[in-house]
Homo-oligomer: A and B are copies of this chain.
């Protein structure tokens, strides 16, 4: 696992490069940061010939460590204008890693775009022209890829939104069974992939030799500890049984549930869309269920669900908290079947459901359609598929939608929609939105887990907390493991080093691992600085500093000066 595959999408030139010594110590998010800073002009047009689309395996990508095998996509984001990384599960990442690949880099753009597929197998990569995939919806694309390349091949693809280079487009993938549709959703990476004329990338690891691990026994032992710590944590069972929708009631109680375009923090019809309701409906209606859905082989949490319509037929898999919040309460929609359909539509078009839900909320505020109009919301997403002017506006995300319709309440930081946690009543995540090189992204450091141990509405201590959360997120995304295994590292901070040392013959201490996170974020900030994204301009949206959020009537009151100190504050000792 030491090669980088480079594909010039204009010339179809394919090169295999050995990883540099520096790159060998990086993976996933940190490898993307490194390659971006080394190879991409930070001032380039994100959808032009000088940007690159990078797919990177995590440092534990080829292992059986629980949840490992996730991978990252990244490059310069058409939304934030800075470097972006988005991580996802599914089966492609581990296959890519098992092919000995640390990264795949798509370079340049075609002069005359045709729909193409990059197929990577043992010691071989080729580009296939595949016009039959043009504008094909995501699930049809993934099923067709499965038929064409076999169910053991892992694939990623973009939907029509990516092909149309809409800045709200994500990169889709599926698990081994083909049931789930998962997205590396944030930052518009689907548009970057689409700009390269590559509809899909397929990894077939048939015949690939198993990687040589430095100490397989130690790795297994460390994984066993990790699994045990997870099984001992009550959150694991809760996630297994209810999935991410479980937090909806929590967020509503905290007053941070985006409601009617972030004008409220609690939804009056919350019961209709809560995790409990969803679980009941799945149980009543049947289908593939709410437990035990695979996202990645070997995951012991398995939080995914398959949400069925009243006849028990799958509507969307998996139905997740953020999407329910943005497409549901944020749009004033309480019909959970309609929300599931909206989510499915986003998936099929290949749009990030968070960005799109936020854009629809802003369009509702502008009066394009009324709040609560699920039928109208579906039409907006269908219009994106058709490429109408209105559909393209929505597909390009919340900031463009706000500008076009002259809306002042636009929930975005650094050009990217704020996810399902209003920072006025969860202040730590606001610090993350503003100071993270990723912009408004809950996976970059979510303070929700601290809501019971510190006052989420007090400005005190949030900068320090966000720093710690951001470091840990960067490390997890560099290893290619799920953010949900974090409780294990809170209890046993040395576990990161154990896993990495056993896999790679590193000689890392706890501090070294923390330093990996620091370095990753510093590299990303260096890229963003060169891209002109200086921190002085960045803040939460203006309305969040002035408009009190019901029910707690909070505003975001951590000063920019305070937030700017984040990379100079003392780390919290021995803690992830």
Contacts and interface: CB of A to CB of B under 8 A. Distances in A.
A284 to B, nearest CB: 40
A537 B532 contact: yes
A538 B78 CA distance: 16
Interface residues of A, number: 38
A194 B389 CA distance: 24
Contacts of A542: 44-45, 48, 50
Contacts of A393: 389, 393, 404
A43 interface: yes
Interface string A309-352: 00000000000000000000000000000000000000000000
A575 B78 CA distance: 44
A539 interface: yes
Interface in A376-418: 388-390, 392-393, 396, 400, 403-406, 408
A408 B78 CA distance: 12
Copies in the complex: 2
Contact of A392 (B45, B388, B404): B404
A406 B78 CA distance: 11
A536 interface: yes
Nearest to A406: B165
Nearest to A389: B390
Contacts of A43: 536-537, 539
Contact of A406 (B44, B164, B539): B164
Contacts of A403: 78, 167, 396, 400
A405 B167 CA distance: 11
A127 interface: no
Contacts of A250: none
Nearest to A388: B389
A166 interface: yes
Contacts of A165: 406
A530 interface: yes
A556 to B, nearest CB: 14
A11 to B, nearest CB: 16
Contact of A408 (B45, B164, B392, B396): B45
Interface in A533-563: 533-534, 536-539, 542-543, 546
A500 interface: no
30 contacts: A43-B537, A43-B539, A45-B408, A47-B406, A47-B408, A48-B408, A48-B542, A49-B546, A50-B542, A78-B403, A81-B537, A165-B406, A166-B406, A167-B403, A368-B389, A388-B389, A389-B393, A389-B404, A392-B406, A393-B393, A404-B404, A530-B536, A531-B536, A531-B537, A532-B533, A532-B534, A532-B537, A532-B538, A533-B537, A534-B534
Interface of A: 43-45, 47-50, 78, 81, 164-167, 368, 388-390, 392-393, 396, 400, 403-406, 408, 530-534, 536-539, 542-543, 546
